[in-house]
Amino acid sequence: MRPLHMVDTHSQYHKIKQQVDKAVLDVMESTAFINGPAVQEFSGNLATYLGASHVILCANGTDALQIALMALGLQPGDEVITPSFTYIATTEVIALLKLTPVFVEVDPKTFCIDPAAIEKAITPRTKAIVPVHLYGQSANMEAIMKIAGQHKLYVIEDNAQAIGCNFHFSDGTSKKTGTIGHIGCTSFYPSKNLGAFGDGGALCTNDDALAHKLKMIANHGQQKRYYHDVVGCNSRLDSIQAAILNVKLNYLDGYCDARRTVAAYYDEAFAQTDRIITPFRAANSDHVYHQYTIILEGVDRDAFKTRLDATGVPSMIYYPVPAHKQKMFEQFGVDGLELPLTTYLTERVISLPVHTEMDEEQLKFITDTVLSLI
């Protein structure tokens, strides 16, 4: 059997090695390492793929979230509502900008922020909502945009795990996640669904004025060279990464399909036990399975993981500690905050390998092993 990994970027690279190598060598030969033609080309192609008016490329997904929040003109102490059950980057940038994170519950089925919990958390200081499309499935963006409209709040989508995912509105129309809120942020970290060969990130928006601000902030607050109008930062996607991503973008829909095939195999194999709750499929969203995350019922999750580790089947706990229990946020007086659904998930979830290069022999071994240990 081919070796098992959580992601197999090596096999994925080898399938498109010739194209990727040529794209990299072309940039090397041009020496246009920063803001070269490959950067313009990729940002145009990504905008077309997403159906967004503007794409602003940047250095990583965390920077994208930070730049998005910087563009909203918020004041210290303004409140930003976000799930506690997420990767730390989503919430960290809020605190970094001296804004106040307000952590709310997720829907235990979709793992994404619960719109009813958002509504309850709104105060006169609330300025923005940052939903996360966790594991590759969209949060309920229709409900979130309705709440945001009623209360005049900004919505910044953390789309780091869901690039390529479609959200379906009740009127029958669909949009790509990341293009529904005021700003969408994504990451090209190598293990993400559209992974670079290093760090990378992007913002997208359909708002011309916001696009202008985002561009300036990512480029030292300047519009004209050496004239700096606002405090910004230095966050760029370099040309080599853009050239690689430009090749890989053509394969993104295929990569999503490959992940869905893996998920369907797992779903079927685990249907026989009620100790495994397989990922919920929301009617209003595609699933691009950045992770295949199950909930274990009536099983000691950590003991199970130790037994699974011993068999050589990789697995990960995303995430063992919710944001509101992190030391980093003690300053916001959230240690007494009770989010029982979030706690329930952090104690019971486990993610199994899902990537674009898995074969049936590997899937059979993983599912047989998991079922024998459960």
Ligand X SMILES: *Cc1c(COP(=O)(O)O)cnc(C)c1O
Interface residues with ligand X (CB under 6 A) are 60-62, 86-87, 89-90, 132, 158, 160-161, 187, 189, 199, 201
Taking the complex as a whole, the smallest distance from the CB of residue 199 to ligand X amounts, in Å, to 6
Choice between 118 and 276, CB closer to ligand X? 118
CB of residue 362 to ligand X, shortest distance in Å: 24
| Phi and psi, residue 182, nearest 5° | -70, -35
At position 108, the amino acid (one-letter code) is: P
Shortest Å, Cβ 85 to ligand X: 10
Residues 6+ apart with CB under 8 A from 287: 135, 136, 137, 165, 260, 263, 279, 281
β-strands 276-277, 126-129 pairing: unpaired
Shortest distance (Å) from residue 80 CB to ligand X: 14
Question: Token pair 């697995």 is at which residue?
Answer: 315
Residue closer to ligand X by CB (options 191, 250) is: 191
Residue (130 or 258) nearer to ligand X, CB: 130
Assess contact for 138 and 162: CB atoms under 8 A: yes
Q: How far is the CB of 356 from ligand X (least distance, A)?
A: 17
Q: How far is CA 17 from the centre of its chain?
A: 26
- Least CB distance from residue 61 to ligand X, whole Å? 3
Beta bridge partners of 228: 222
Provide the minimum distance between the beta carbon of 130 and ligand X in the complex, in angstroms, as a whole number. Answer: 10
Q: Which residue, 87 or 266, is less far from ligand X as judged by CB?
A: 87
Smaller CB distance to ligand X: residue 235 or 315? Answer: 235
Grouping H, G, I as helix, E, B as strand and the rest as coil, residue 185 is strand
Using DSSP, state whether 260 is helix, strand or coil.
Answer: helix
Which residue is closest to ligand X by CB? 61
CA dist., res. 211 & res. 214, Å (int) = 5
Nearer to ligand X, 88 or 371 (CB): 88
Which of 106, 276 has the CB closer to ligand X?
Answer: 106
Q: How far apart are CA 183 and CA 205, in angstroms?
A: 5
Residue ranges in the chain assigned as alpha helix (H): 9-15, 17-30, 37-50, 61-70, 88-96, 115-121, 141-151, 208-218, 239-249, 252-270, 301-311, 340-348, 360-373
